[in-house]
């Protein structure tokens, strides 16, 4: 989602002129769980229900869509009300946490969660040609980025096709929306993988790992911590997937 505004473009060769430009819309969406305020996320305003469910799952507050008895958004789309069929007391969930390096979302994750990484029996084979081909389609779908330059993108894939695609101002939000959509449809990350436009840091990897994908690939770089986690979990981690080449980090 974007809006159009008038701006002044200054070109050192051709002077300045007034043009119409597209800028990305930034919203703050509140998540209310069982009647209590849970968090507020800075995000693009599309798909707020998916964002809420995906965030609750990837941050470890729910383990299954079966724990959700209802999800609805407010008329303005700036609040999401999630009803869980279990007790939800944040005071019981406080652990030592660190702030993440993400944009769009001021999230935390528990240091203790690093010891709960899901491990595959062994790394799965993959086709570099397939990954690079899917990224070419991924780039074509990144329309909002092409128009505004202000969002990140993520895609959930299976075999040689993109199942779903999301763009958001926040790296984490784009992934959470994919996870939330799958959970609301009763689907898991088994036999699936993520494509991603941004940096793969430890908290992004933890979200992917918790969802159960076997591979995460990006056009950008991973951090050292993400590489360590990928090796520990036998999950394939790919960076700089561009054109006809990619880097395999584990």
Tokens of 20: 């119409």
Structure tokens at 172: 């984490």
Rounded to whole angstroms, the Cα distance separating 171 from 232 reads 23
DSSP state for residue 222 in the 8-state scheme: B
Q: Tell me the C-alpha distance between 196 and 103, whole Å.
A: 14
CA distances (Å), 151 to each of 44, 107, 109, 115, in order?
A: 9, 18, 23, 31
**Catalytic pick among 103, 114, 221, 248:** 103
- CA distance linking residue 244 with residue 114, whole number of Å: 34
Residues whose CB falls within 8 Å of the CB of residue 152, separated by 6 or more in sequence, listed in order: 103, 104, 145, 167, 168, 169, 170, 171, 174, 196, 197, 198
Residue carrying structure tokens 């869509």: 65
Catalytic residue list contains 157: no
Per the rule left: phi > 0, alpha: psi between -120 and 50, beta: everything else, 114 is alpha
The residues annotated with a catalytic role in the active site are 103
């Amino acid at each position: 989602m974007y809006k159009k505004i008038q701006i002044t473009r200054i070109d050192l060769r051709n002077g300045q002129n007034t043009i119409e430009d597209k800028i990305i819309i930034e919203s703050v969406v509140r998540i209310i769980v069982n009647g209590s305020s849970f968090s507020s996320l800075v995000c693009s305003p599309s798909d707020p229900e998916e964002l809420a469910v995906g965030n609750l799952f990837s941050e470890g507050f729910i383990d299954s869509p079966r724990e959700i008895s209802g999800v609805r958004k407010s008329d303005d789309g700036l609040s999401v009300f999630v009803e869980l069929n279990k007790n939800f007391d944040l005071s019981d969930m406080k652990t030592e946490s660190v702030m993440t390096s993400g944009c769009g979302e001021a999230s935390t994750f528990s240091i203790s969660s690093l010891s709960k990484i899901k491990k595959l029996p062994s790394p799965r084979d993959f086709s570099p040609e397939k990954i690079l081909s899917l990224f070419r389609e991924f780039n074509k779908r990144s329309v909002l980025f092409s128009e505004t330059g202000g969002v990140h993108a993520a895609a959930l894939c299976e075999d040689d096709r993109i199942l779903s695609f999301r763009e958001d101002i926040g790296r984490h939000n784009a992934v959470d929306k994919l996870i939330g959509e799958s959970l609301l449809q009763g689907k898991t990350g088994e036999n699936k993988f993520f494509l991603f436009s941004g940096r793969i840091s430890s908290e992004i990897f933890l979200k992917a790992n918790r969802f159960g994908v076997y591979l995460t690939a990006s056009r950008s770089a991973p951090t050292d911590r993400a590489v360590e986690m990928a090796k520990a979990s036998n999950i394939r981690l790919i960076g700089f997937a561009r054109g006809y080449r990619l880097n395999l980090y584990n």
